[in-house]
Amino acid sequence: MQRTPLYATHVALGGRMVEFAGYELPVQYPTGPMTEHHAVRTAAGLFDIDHMGQFEVRGPDADAFLQRVQVWDIDQMALLDAHYSLLLYADGTVVDDIFLYKLTGRWLVIVNAANRAKDWEWLQAQVGGLDVALIDRSDELCMLALQGPKAEQIMQRLTDADLDKVATRTAAEITLAGLPAIIGRTGYTGEDGFELYIPTDGAVGFWDGLLDAGKEDGLLPCGLAARDSLRFEACMPLYGHELSADINALEARMGWTVSWNKAFIGRDALLKVKLEKPQRLLVGLEMVDKAVAREHYDVAVAGQVVGHVTSGMKSPTLDKFLAMALVPAAYAANGATVDVVVRGQPKQAKVVKRPFYKPRYK
Shared-domain flag, residues 298 and 197: no
Shared-domain flag, residues 228 and 151: yes
Angle among Cα 87, 253, 302 to the nearest 5 degrees reads 130
* Cα 57 to Cα 59: distance, rounded to the nearest angstrom: 7
358 located within any domain: no
What CATH number is attached to the domain comprising 117?
3.30.70.1400
- Write down the pTM of the prediction: 0.96
Q: Which residues contact 212 (CB under 8 A, 6 or more apart)?
A: none
Residue 97 · residue 237 · CB < 8 Å: yes
Q: For position 361, what pLDDT does the model report?
A: 79
Q: For position 362, what pLDDT does the model report?
A: 72
258 located within any domain: no
Which helix (H) or strand (E) segment is 147 a member of?
Answer: strand 141-147
70-90 pLDDT, tens per residue? 999 999 999 999 999 999 999
Residue 338 · residue 291 · CB < 8 Å: no
Confidence check: pLDDT of 63 > 90: yes
Confidence check: pLDDT of 2 > 90: yes
What CATH number is attached to the domain comprising 12?
3.30.1360.120
89-141 pLDDT, tens per residue? 999 999 999 999 999 999 999 999 999 999 999 999 999 999 999 999 999 99
Shared-domain flag, residues 30 and 58: no
* Cα 338 to Cα 341: distance, rounded to the nearest angstrom: 10
Domain-terminating residue out of 136, 160, 183: 136
Domain containing residue 338: 279-352
Shared-domain flag, residues 46 and 106: no
Collapsing DSSP states into helix, strand and coil, what is residue 359?
A: coil
* Cα 47 to Cα 223: distance, rounded to the nearest angstrom: 6
Structural domains in the chain (count)? 3
151-178 pLDDT, tens per residue? 999 999 999 999 999 999 999 999 999 9
Shared-domain flag, residues 46 and 144: yes
